[in-house]
Structure 1
Amino acid sequence: MGDDSKTPGMYRVYASRQDQGWQLSLPGIGDIWVRRLTDAVNAATSFIAERKGISRDQVGTQLSVELSADLEPERRASTEAHLKAKRAQDEAALAYRKLAKRLQESGISGAEIALILGVSRQRVSQLLSSTQK
């Protein structure tokens, strides 16, 4: 049903900036234009449903924004930096939970753990409860 998507009813929509708006290309269906990118999914869904003769709730879309050659490398780099920071944050949170648990297991009270870690007692409680899940 969809273009190159693996899920039936899913359609990829390619958006590219054009003068005063965005051109939406829907492979095998056609192209439309929207003024704002925030309108792209809604407009594409309506367009696909109309062209295919199906209801809007049978249409899923995946928006792929194509940036200019000077912006695309910057987007890739910032996305990678964001993902790297997220991974580091997840690893740090896990290390914090493990440390709080080890401190507790060694007989240190929650209030003392809070002082050691520089967090509130409530945060210590959260850290310890998340290690039990």
Structure 2
Amino acid sequence: MPAEGVDEVTLTTYETVAKRWKHGWELHIDGVGVTQSRTLLDAEPMVRDYVAMILNAPDDSFDVKVTPEIGAGVDGEILGLRHADEELEAARERAGKQRRKVARRLDSLGLSGREIAAILEVSPQRVSQLLGRGKTKTAASKRRSVRRTSKL
């Protein structure tokens, strides 16, 4: 999340298809060109170096996405797995929002943190997080912690 008053910068992403060949991987960078790497693990830094050199730009001024092209019928399975992962992440975000909403609603009805924890099947500490409590220590609490630590 960007700091207050700072605009979020969207970096250009260079989509790259990595195709296997007998000496490693051929890296086809959309709109830029082709380079190579010995291993798939070296592909992203190799693409980053290549694009930075071609565009005469800092290597941290853009993003790189490398998609391996495997063949043998497994590419579709890989895409299906990535799609399932994206759906799972979206479902987790929805569940988190719903959990916070329900926790706040139960809190407004006067239930204790322990009761809310039992209903939501989470720890009381998690309820505090969901309700936005306990995020920051008060100044007095910080001073007490410092005093205790300094006596050791």
The amino acid of 1:38's aligned partner reads L
C-alpha change, 1:58 and 1:68, in structure 2 (3 Å) is same
Q: Partners in 2 of 1:33 and 1:67 — Cα distance?
A: 16
Query: What residue ranges of structure 2 are gaps of 5+ in the alignment?
Result: 1-9, 134-152
Match of 1:45 in 2: 48
Give the SS at the match of 1:125: helix
In 1, are the aligned partners of 2:44 and 2:66 still within 8 Å (CA)?
Answer: no
Match of 2:75 in 1: 72
Match of 1:122 in 2: 125
Q: Partners in 2 of 1:8 and 1:100 — Cα distance?
A: 37
| Identical counterparts, % of pairs | 35
Point out the more displaced range, 53-62 or 70-79: 53-62
How far has the Cα of 1:103 moved from its partner?
0.9
Match of 1:4 in 2: none
Which of 14, 18, 37 aligns to 2:17? It is 14
C-alpha change, 1:15 and 1:126, in structure 2 (3 Å) is same
Give the SS at the match of 1:129: coil
Which of 56, 67, 70 aligns to 1:54? It is 56
In 2, are the aligned partners of 1:114 and 1:120 still within 8 Å (CA)?
Answer: yes
Match of 2:91 in 1: 88
In 2, are the aligned partners of 1:13 and 1:61 still within 8 Å (CA)?
Answer: no
Q: Partners in 2 of 1:104 and 1:118 — Cα distance?
A: 15
How far has the Cα of 1:80 moved from its partner?
1.6
Give the SS at the match of 2:84: helix
Point out the more displaced range, 82-91 or 30-39: 30-39
Q: Partners in 2 of 1:64 and 1:26 — Cα distance?
A: 9
TM-score (norm 2): 0.63
Aligned pairs for 1:26-45 (under 5 A) are: 26=29, 30-45=33-48
Equivalent pairs, count: 123
Point out the more displaced range, 72-81 or 7-16: 7-16
TM-score (norm 1): 0.71
Give the SS at the match of 2:111: coil
The amino acid of 1:80's aligned partner reads H
Query: What residue ranges of structure 1 are gaps of 5+ in the alignment?
Result: 1-6
Root-mean-square deviation (CA, aligned residues, Å) is 3.0
Q: Partners in 2 of 1:83 and 1:96 — Cα distance?
A: 20
In 2, are the aligned partners of 1:24 and 1:33 still within 8 Å (CA)?
Answer: yes
Which of 44, 53, 63 aligns to 2:65? It is 63
